[in-house]
Amino acid sequence: MSIREMISEKRKARKRWQETRFPYDKTQLNSITAKLKQLLNSDKNQGIQTYLKNLNATAATDYSLWKATKKLKRPILIQSPIRKKDNTWAKNDSERVETFAEHLHEVFVPNSFQGDSKKMDEVLHLLNRTHQLDLPISKFTKSEVTQAIRKLNQHKAPGYDLITAKILRELPEEAIIYLTQLYNAIIKRGFVPQQWKVAQVIMILKPGKRAEDVKSYRPISLLPIPSKVLEILFLKRLMPIIEKNQIIPNYQFGFRQKHSTIEQIHRLVEKINTTFEQKKYCSAIFLDISQAFDRVWHEGLLYKIKKTLPINYYVFIRSYLNNRHFFVKQNDKASKLYTIQAGVPQGSVLGPILYLMYTSDLPTTEGVVIGTFADDTAALAIDDNPAAASTKLQRCLKNISQWLKNWRIQPNENKSIHVTFTIRRETCPPVHLNGVQIPQANEAKYLGLYLDRRLTWRKHIFTKRKAMGIQLRKLYWLMCQKSQLSLENKLLLYKCILKPIWTYGVQLWGTTANSNIEILQRFQSKILRMITNSPWYITNNRLHHDLDIPTVKEEIKTRVKAYKTRLQNHPNKLASHLMNRKKIFYRLKRRIPQDLITV
């Protein structure tokens, strides 16, 4: 019986019961209603399975598989009322955008100056001093402009001018020539057009935060695409000078080519392993900087640029930073323009490099290892005595504290973490920053990896297993036994969405105990059995072999080999030696990353 016929029968039964009110008629109505619900659910499930059966990851189906999973990573746009400063509520879009804009206007200002007044006088004196002429920046060619346009991501949202990367790609040769002339004129005059210094800001709610709090939102800046092309061209001229003069220190691994988070963490892990081997104490601090990129002091940044770069580069960057504006947009409502008084432009090409130059003179202390990745800073001091290790670290923090005050950088002492890495029982004494004691903990999260006191990686493994479980629940309708999605696409979902969760940092945490590795291996086996709907007598080893999926241990070995090959030609001397096994006797029966190649 079809759904239409069943609905008709239900209506007749309901009318009959309403007229007679006999219990038998009520029973018949309930029976027909139950059958109709079952038929509707069956039809719905059949429609979903037909949809899943036709999903594919190729262009022939317009990448329908990825569109089905797109909502998993899409940010949630909340239309919740926002609490204002006076405790009233911004209920409509017009009020919300103004509330957001007023909040950001207070954020994009430099922190108060608490440093040495002589440093302030030195900065202002250098900026006001006249400068000598220098050789002009070499002109851009048409081929360079064309190449820069081709590098643009076509899927990036445009700025307020609505000029997309796709539009620039479709420009005729005459328009490219005109753009080249325009860019060369901007570089020659050292003047960036005002229209290219306006950012359209979209507010995105941070996960797990209260929707009514204005501080719970993350600003996303959309800049004009033609301005980004200019930044790409200028950066191509700037980077050779930065590399030649070694402006960015070796311990800074952020936003640099051929540098990754894994190598920076490996530097710290190597020092910690040495501490264990020598029965010493490692007193480590992981600093948290408040609004690092948004509150960069423009005058301080220009001071450092004028001291280290040719004058024509300084003139261009000064025009690029000064007199920038933003407005907040939500749906079809936009706030008025507000001035940006501090910070490097978010979403820009030059912003990350400018921040690295601003923090390039972070003071170092003898006997203390410094590691930075953009604004994520770690410092390690090692000694036989726990008190001596903390004394070294405290001396380093004293220098860093004065440097932070001089350059208007505000640390968050309560979110910073002090960890003692040792296999011994004692704990290093606490350290202070700006007179505030840094909280002590048994583990710290640094660049996505959890480093615990004895470097067992157990906390990291448990966290990743939990994250994979959450993600699997979201994908269950696509990957379960009843799903008609093809086996090939189910495996593709596992490899592209679930597997990267646990493979990150495998070159380092692969040294953990076999019991921890088995936690991830059991999860992978569970996934493979689910997507293949395997009977109980099919072994996990057979599944891995037939599906051509390496086990967790095999994956560790493969990735460590590739990692060692990459480090052999690494441009940074602090990272190139990390996988070179030293011919010494190891007292502890602990594995290090170099050992994983022979596992």
d(CA 464, CA 459): 9
Contacts of 154 (CB under 8 A, 6+ apart): 164, 165, 166, 169
d(CA 381, CA 271): 9
Return the pLDDT at 209.
87
Closest to 292 in 3D by CA, of 202, 352, 347, 371: 352
Do the Cβ atoms of 496 and 548 come closer than 8 Å? no
Contacts of 152 (CB under 8 A, 6+ apart): 165, 168, 169, 225, 228, 229
Q: Hey, what amino acid is at 366?
A: E
263-291+362-452: which CATH number, 2.60.120, 3.30.70, 1.10.3470, 1.25.10?
3.30.70
Closest to 597 in 3D by CA, of 554, 566, 536, 567: 554
Do the Cβ atoms of 14 and 40 come closer than 8 Å? no
pTM: 0.88
Sign of the dihedral defined by the CA atoms of residues 577, 580, 586, 592, in that order = positive
Q: How far is CA 398 from CA 66, 249, 289, 390, in A?
A: 50, 20, 16, 12
The angle formed by the CA atoms of residues 382, 384 and 390, to the nearest 5 degrees, is 50
Return the pLDDT at 147.
95
Return the pLDDT at 43.
83
Helix then strand count (H, E) for the chain reads 22, 16
Return the pLDDT at 70.
66
Return the pLDDT at 87.
87
Do the Cβ atoms of 496 and 478 come closer than 8 Å? no
Q: How far is CA 409 from CA 294, 435, 482, in A?
A: 10, 16, 55
pLDDT in tens, the chain (599 residues): 788 888 999 999 999 999 999 999 999 999 999 999 988 888 877 776 777 767 776 666 656 766 767 655 555 555 788 998 888 998 898 999 999 999 999 999 999 999 888 999 999 999 998 877 788 999 999 999 999 999 898 888 999 999 999 999 999 999 999 999 999 999 999 999 999 999 999 999 888 888 899 999 999 999 999 999 999 999 999 999 999 999 999 999 999 999 999 999 999 999 999 999 999 999 999 999 999 999 999 999 999 999 999 999 999 999 999 999 999 999 889 999 999 999 999 989 999 999 999 999 999 999 999 999 999 999 999 999 999 999 999 999 999 999 999 999 999 999 999 999 999 999 999 999 999 999 999 999 999 999 999 999 999 999 999 999 999 998 898 888 888 888 888 898 899 889 999 999 999 999 999 999 999 999 999 999 999 999 999 999 999 999 999 999 999 999 999 999 999 999 999 999 898 866 455 777 788 888 887 65
> What's the token pair of residue 3?
């759904």
Domain positions in the chain are 1-44, 92-252+293-357, 263-291+362-452, 458-597
